[in-house]
Amino acid sequence: MDLQESSVPHADEVGQAKPGPRRLGVRGLIDREELVRVIAQSLYSLGYRKAAAALEEESSVPLYPPEHDRLLLNVMAGRWDACVETISSFAGVSKADLAVAEFLVWRGHYLELLGMGDTGLWRASEVLRRRIAPLSIDRRCVHWLARAMVSCDGVVAPEAVVQCRIALFLDLVEVLPPWFHVPSGRLEHLVESAVTKQVESCIYHNLVDEISLFEDHKCHEEQIPSKCAQVRVSQIVDPSFQFYNKCSDLHLRFSNNGNYLASSSCDCTAIIWKVENDDTLTKKHCLEGHQNPISFVAWSPNDKMLLTCGNGESLKLWNVDTGECNLKFKGSWEYTITTCAWFPDSEKIVCAGYDTGAGSSSNRIFTCDLEGKELDVWAGVRIPKLSDLAVTPDGRHLICVSCNEIWIRQLPKGWEWRIHEKQTISSLSLSSDGQSLIVNLNSQEIHLWKVHRSSMPEIFKGHMQGKFVIRSCFGGPNSLFIASGSEDSQV
């Protein structure tokens, strides 16, 4: 027999499908009937009712077992004793679940009797005393039903009785074993769980919404940026590397949408670069006006503004479109700002610095609007000198670092807690969802902490940090990666 002839189905294969093996899959982990029922449920939920019905008929596997239809008929007919007998015959029902199911049945009967008015009160009291009270359930449920007898008023309409019985059946479905009723969306849940597991095990995952069901998911190492796309010379025209000795706080930061890059320099300027379609950079604006090296830049969440912080100077707010300085933040006190961050609405910022006026020095944290008006101020001896800070994306928490301590404070004024490190912290970075943070330590380690969970940190090693400030950061979809510079000229 040639290949073409062997590929033609026999007559008996065209008609009723013959039952296959009970267990499916290479490891035999999948029950055939369960798989057919899950597929049928998914087809019904997608609206393919004819296809689902054809699957049930051809496979001889109904979506619902006979026990399902029997219980449904008993509930809708109000055959309460038959309901309890049917449930008691089910396999896999624990004693606790059986008690809950019986309570639901008799509660439904009890409430229907109350809805009959005075004619049903005596029968309702008998159901409560003889059927419900002996069950092993929370006594508060019994007391609630007893109070309902006192407060009942009026007769329930017949159509309301039908709706109550449908609701009763749906409540029973939640208590009974999964084989009784295939959970809604079960196939979608299984497929999504499998895809999620594959993504979580993919160490190079760097794609967003590019997952296919036709093959196992796997990202390759080539999808992680590993090649230099462009080289930009220092903003200081100096062919030697002497500028490194002058400017240990050179700061670069991409905008939130990735369309721009801001870089600061010890020549007292900052540059806004435009990221072109081929990933090359072109100069958009050179920001001039600081008298000292610029040690810090911060993009507004809407990417329309940029903050720059100079050593020993006030803060400047720049318009990204025009390159003009919109505001120079000044206060009624003399201060040096060390770090700043935006609130998620792009309408408010928070700064940290120290007051050098009146011959004294004190640390402070303050928030202000875009007109420079101070809104909230934290000052005093208990406020440490901060080296870095951030605001969570929901605007509800302020995270600061000082020396060897991480300080998390609820906003505007609420509870706070602190995380102590054994080494000095040099920088802070917050994940895009605000659930995780990383700090760089002078011990050449990166520690990953969960913001709302008290546990030991994950520790990352490999980068070199001795002379300069290394600002490690999150990257990739959902902040799945940590990227770090290093003094050995590697990333």
Query: Among 84-98, 293-307, 352-366, which is the least confidently predicted range?
Result: 352-366
Beta bridge partners of 353: 337, 364
Maximum pairwise Cα distance, the chain: 103
pLDDT tens-digit series, residues 284-312: 999 998 888 888 899 999 999 999 987 76
Which one, of 228, 166, 217, 229, lies nearest residue 193 by Cα? 217
- Decide if pLDDT at 222 tops 80: no
Quote the pLDDT of residue 153: 63
3-state class percentages of the chain: helix first, strand second, coil last, to nearest 5: 30, 25, 45
The dihedral built from the CA positions of residue 10, 16, 21 and 24, taken in this order, carries a sign that is positive
Q: How many Å apart are CA 262 and CA 305, to the nearest integer?
A: 11
Tokens for 162, please give them.
């039908």
- Name the CA dihedral angle for 134, 140, 143, 147, rounded to a multiple of 10 degrees: -150
Q: How many Å apart are CA 446 and CA 346, to the nearest integer?
A: 29
pLDDT tens-digit series, residues 116-162: 877 788 888 889 889 998 888 888 888 888 888 777 666 667 788 89
Q: How many Å apart are CA 181 and CA 343, to the nearest integer?
A: 48
CATH superfamily of 243-483: YVTN repeat-like/Quinoprotein amine dehydrogenase (2.130.10.10)
DSSP 182: P
Q: How many Å apart are CA 351 and CA 383, to the nearest integer?
A: 13
Average pLDDT, the chain: 84
- Decide if pLDDT at 430 tops 50: yes
Quote the pLDDT of residue 398: 92
For residue 429, give the amino acid letter: S
Quote the pLDDT of residue 12: 45
409-438 burial code (b ≥16 CB/10 A, e <16): bebeeeeeeebebeeebbbbbbbeebebbb
- Decide if pLDDT at 18 tops 70: no
Higher pLDDT, 239 or 257: 257
Work out the pLDDT band at 358, boundaries 50, 70, 90. low
Q: How many Å apart are CA 349 and CA 344, to the nearest integer?
A: 9
Q: How many Å apart are CA 137 and CA 118, to the nearest integer?
A: 28
Quote the pLDDT of residue 262: 93
Which one, of 292, 373, 359, 298, lies nearest residue 331 by Cα? 373
User: Could you tell me if residue 136 is left (phi over 0), alpha (psi between -120 and 50 degrees) or otherwise beta?
Assistant: beta
Work out the pLDDT band at 236, boundaries 50, 70, 90. very low
Higher pLDDT, 383 or 171: 171
pLDDT tens-digit series, residues 59-81: 999 999 999 999 999 999 999 99
pTM, entire model: 0.63
Do the Cβ atoms of 29 and 23 come closer than 8 Å? yes
Quote the pLDDT of residue 14: 42
- Decide if pLDDT at 215 tops 70: yes
Quote the pLDDT of residue 240: 39
Work out the pLDDT band at 267, boundaries 50, 70, 90. confident
pLDDT tens-digit series, residues 309-329: 877 677 899 999 999 998 887
Residue indicated by tokens 């000052």: 379
Do the Cβ atoms of 424 and 445 come closer than 8 Å? no
Do the Cβ atoms of 52 and 43 come closer than 8 Å? yes
> Angle at the Cα of 468 (from 382 to 287), degrees rounded to 5?
85
- Decide if pLDDT at 234 tops 60: no
Residue boundaries of the structural domains of the chain: 3-59, 66-180, 186-221, 243-483
- Decide if pLDDT at 384 tops 60: yes
- Decide if pLDDT at 347 tops 80: yes
For residue 156, give the amino acid letter: V
**Residues written for the chain:** 491
Which one, of 60, 68, 105, lies nearest residue 182 by Cα? 68
pLDDT tens-digit series, residues 179-197: 898 888 999 999 999 988 9
Measured CA distances, 308 to 11, 297, 338, 354, 376 (Å): 80, 5, 11, 17, 21
Helix (H) / strand (E) containing 70: helix 66-77
- Decide if pLDDT at 336 tops 70: yes
